[in-house]
Structure 1
Amino acid sequence: MEEPIQLPKIVKDKTLSSKNLRDREDKASMETLGNPEVRDCLRDRLVAGMRQQVESLIQQEVPALAATLQESYNLQPHEELLRLWLTNELKEALGGSCQKAAVTAFGAGASKANIARSVGIRQQNFGTHFPNFDGAAND
């Protein structure tokens, strides 16, 4: 089993407010996760396993979706098209989950700069990446 990846240590400056310290720790963490070697290692270890699970679930659900379309509408689409449709629906749902996670992180005190770092974008592209952020953050 691989050793866990070590994040850089932050020297705690007692003159910093807890908010500033939290921002520094978040920044260091997000910059570490943005390192291509770290990101690739974590993607290989975590995301690949999750992707396999999701693909397995899609594989299980496609026949049920095909049966529903057959029974309800007398349609018989190609199962690969159903797999594509379902995969795209999940992609859209996960995009909404990403937006929600950003709003939740902001509500918990994370800065927009660190939220941008966490998804690998520059801060000036924040509004483009999260177009509904300000409205959702105010709800």
Structure 2
Amino acid sequence: MGDTELSTRMRGFGKYWGWVVFAVLVAGWLTFDFGPLVLVVLSGVSAFYFFFTVPVWCGAAGRDGACRHNSHGVLMGCQLRQHKWQKLKMIFWAARWARLRQEPFQNATTTLASLGGILAVTSGVASTLQPLFGEGW
């Protein structure tokens, strides 16, 4: 295997680094080997990955249905500026929250990314509150 082929494979893997962080986060919760600060950091990094960098389809509403361009993150649109604004506006306007509940669950890829992000946020909140209300580490 040449250096060029290896770098090409590693570049392709680089898009999916957040899944490794998420697996370490899950392992940390299952084994209780990490403290709450490490779990909060891993949760934040995982949430950032799933919401803003994971490779998924855009899914913004267009004339011909949902956009099928590649996008970075569940909450970001594709290269079209209008699609980026359309998806970001859904977060801040209550009238568009119904659409926000549907778009992250359009297909298997976006559903997995959305669930990963939701679990990462939940993990961050739980690891912050656990030492305050639970037994602690």
Query: What TM-score results when the alignment is normalised by the length of structure 1?
Result: 0.27
| Structure having the larger proportion of residues in helix | 1
Structure number with greater Rg is 1
| Structure having the larger proportion of residues in strand | 2
Query: What TM-score results when the alignment is normalised by the length of structure 2?
Result: 0.27
